[in-house]
A and B are shown apart, each in its own frame.
Chain A
Amino acid sequence: MKKIAFKTLGCRLNQYETDALASRFHKGSYQIVNYNEPADIYIVNTCTVTNQSDQKSRQTIHQAHKVNEQGLMVVTGCMANNHKQSLLETPGIDYVVDNERKSSIFSIIESHFRGEHPDPEGFDEDLFSYEPAFKTFHTRSLIKIQDGCDNFCTFCIIPSVRGRAVSRPVNAILDNIREVLDHGFKEVVLTGVNIGRYSFEGTSFEQLVAKILELPGDFRLRISSIEPDGFTPHFFELFQHEKLAPHLHLCLQSGSEAILLKMRRMYTAREFRQLAEKLRYRYPDFNLTTDIIVGFPGETEKDFQESLQMAKDLRFSHIHTFKYSVRSGTRAERMDGHLLEKVKNQRSALVRKLSDENKLLYFEQMAGKPQRMLVERISADGIARGYGQSYIPLRTKIKGLERNQFLDVVPDSVYFGKETAMWTKDLRKTF
């Protein structure tokens, strides 16, 4: 039996696609091994969103070489679209497969081992023909609902590597979710490049979410990462449904009106603020997390302070901080006022510090409030870990638990470890 190892870099969409590929190989009688183990095939699903992601992707490719120089190396993902030629010229890379043909990797490998020297470009482009991922690396089931983005933010390379927005048919999504629920998954996470722009034959994103929530079964739905534009009042109502997790990763990028305009984002800082405040007014414990880019060309100290202030006011419990990184061919590359790395480092350290402070404040706010924990891992010392509906990392010492079970708990104190989390008590024992 051939051994295959996977490594995913970057976004949830990549994770979803790797999960689906892994499932396909598992079904096809390949043995899946860890990436740091000797394997016959290595698949690296790369990211190109920043310079750092390019570097990480390259390091990951080299890492496999060190373990087994003879292993077949397949590079896919956004870097394969953005830097195809240079990857093809890199010794030791056997196949470079673009995003559009990623779902064909199983067929490409099979063809390779039949001695056919396949050309990946000869395979059909298909963004959605991934099988449901049963053999996943997670307890949550990622469901791809769309691909691509038409927003063309001035800093972003994604529209050129993922292409234009395409939505997956409603029925295919619902069937996919039914299948994963039947298979025992209890949490479904919607993924895509810009899922809020979902639109298929008249069904909008909000309507799609409503349809998913109508599906029977004991599961919860997480929207996760979404752009803050185009919501109708109905969107807020959806969160009344107990199956919809009260958490959004709402990408802010900057709290400065001027910088948002230069980024060509689709919303203003004041609209973002209103949206977040509306959510919090309706649902005071709603968990908001976000992305912030620091050091965008022309970002003044005042602009940066506006981002910090906004992040403080809106109490994001986690802020994914990106230092602005030039992407070749984007409008931002040609803008004046590129900042020194030193300034970007200082600003990103301040945002990270604020993120840690906000997290503690949020955890304090949530102490004593019931959470439905989905158990993801149980370590050898008997500690079970998982997430509540509000996306708080939870830990419990309750015995006899199983992976992938729901458990009603009450978070009561903060755990400071590699990852900050909350200790919980068994809800049944608190009454």
Chain B
Amino acid sequence: MKLRSNNDNQHQLLELRHLTESTYVLRIDRRGLSFRSGQHILLGEAGSIHNREYSVYSGEKDDFFEVLIKEVDEGLVSKQLKKLKPGSTLQIEGPLGFFTIEPELVDSGKFLFVATGTGIAPFHSFVRSYPKIKYQLLHGVRKEEEAYERNAYPTEKYKLCTSQDEKGDFQGRVTDYLRQNPVSADTHCYLCGNFQMIHEVFDILEMQGVPPHQVHAEVYF
């Protein structure tokens, strides 16, 4: 995919941080590439014809780029990237996408972030880039161990919803939590992760009176 020309899209892998057996963070040399929190990049090994979309996990002002990746069982790129060693060269295209927050809303708006699994990545970036942002984050996972780097968020702002163990702040899916804890109609809602969750949350938010233009979605799969 030709987005940036010549070799200016090559970046070095600085560090690989394992968060669980399957999920890891890649820290990548930024090389001055600017982006807006919520955007994603196309990432692959240098020279490979395969790349995939990954939301930027790090903040707009960080010196490096980070992405949060879960190795998918039948996957290709998520497996390849996990095997890389610091110093390897990666290829980045982008940044791309419109899952961003209007600058004028960052200070004044009230936000709900709803993620499943690694769908928390863009929210991690929002929180790092906009430390004063007023938000509530619902993170839906199967087990507590998938609460990726939860200390990045103040306890009262982060609700871990676990569907397969009882160790979360809430036992059940994010959709169950949201039904029981409605939001006010002036909330700006950002949803990221699998399409079933997003589909359901759209309906719930509609019933709670949130206008469609305040609901933003980033579908991973």
Contacts and interface: CB of A to CB of B under 8 A. Distances in A.
Nearest to A152: B96
A258 B199 contact: yes
Contacts of B3: 163-164
Interface stretch (A237-245, A268-276, A418-426): A268-276
A271 B219 contact: no
B177 interface: no
Contacts of B53: 152, 331
A261 B96 contact: no
A404 to B, nearest CB: 40
Contacts of B198: 261
A268 B213 CA distance: 10
Given A152-B96, A160-B2, A261-B219, A268 B195 contact: no
Contacts of A150: 96-98
A361 interface: no
Contacts of A270: 206, 212
B217 interface: yes
B51 to A, nearest CB: 9
A281 B202 CA distance: 25
Contacts of A257: 199, 202
Interface in B169-212: 195-196, 198-199, 202, 206, 212
Contacts of A262: 195, 219
A113 B73 CA distance: 56
A329 B50 CA distance: 8
A264 interface: yes
Nearest to A164: B3
A266 interface: yes
A266 B1 contact: no
Contacts of B202: 257, 268
A270 B53 CA distance: 27
B195 A261 contact: yes
A318 to B, nearest CB: 27
Contact of B1 (A258, A264, A271, A329): A329
Contact of A264 (B2, B199, B206, B219): B219
A67 to B, nearest CB: 34
Interface residues of B, number: 18
Interface string B70-108: 000000000000000000000000001110000000000
Given A152-B96, A266-B98, A163 B212 contact: no
Interface string B17-30: 00000000000000
Contacts of B215: 268
Contacts of A268: 202, 212, 215
Contacts of B96: 150, 152
A163 B2 contact: yes
Nearest to B1: A160
A157 B130 CA distance: 35
Nearest to A256: B199
A257 B199 CA distance: 7
Contacts of B217: 261
Contacts of B206: 270
Given A152-B96, A266-B98, A271-B212, A261 B199 contact: yes
Interface in A244-272: 257-258, 261-262, 264, 266, 268, 270-271
Contacts of B1: 159-160, 329
Nearest to A258: B199
A163 B2 CA distance: 7
A270 B217 CA distance: 14
A163 B96 CA distance: 12
A423 B219 CA distance: 48
Interface in A156-208: 159-160, 163-164
Contacts of B213: 271
Contacts of A152: 53, 96-97
Nearest to B42: A152
Interface of B: 1-3, 53, 96-98, 195-196, 198-199, 202, 206, 212-213, 215, 217, 219
Given A262-B195, A266-B98, A268-B215, 13 more contacts: A150-B98, A164-B3, A257-B202, A261-B217, A261-B219, A262-B219, A268-B202, A268-B212, A270-B212, A271-B212, A271-B213, A329-B1, A331-B53
Interface of A: 150, 152, 159-160, 163-164, 257-258, 261-262, 264, 266, 268, 270-271, 274, 329, 331
In the A-B complex, the 10 residue pairs with the closest CB atoms? A261-B195, A160-B1, A271-B212, A261-B219, A258-B199, A264-B219, A262-B195, A261-B198, A164-B3, A257-B199
24 contacts: A150-B97, A152-B53, A152-B96, A152-B97, A160-B1, A163-B2, A163-B3, A164-B3, A257-B199, A257-B202, A258-B196, A261-B195, A261-B199, A261-B217, A261-B219, A262-B195, A262-B219, A268-B202, A268-B215, A270-B212, A271-B212, A271-B213, A274-B212, A331-B53
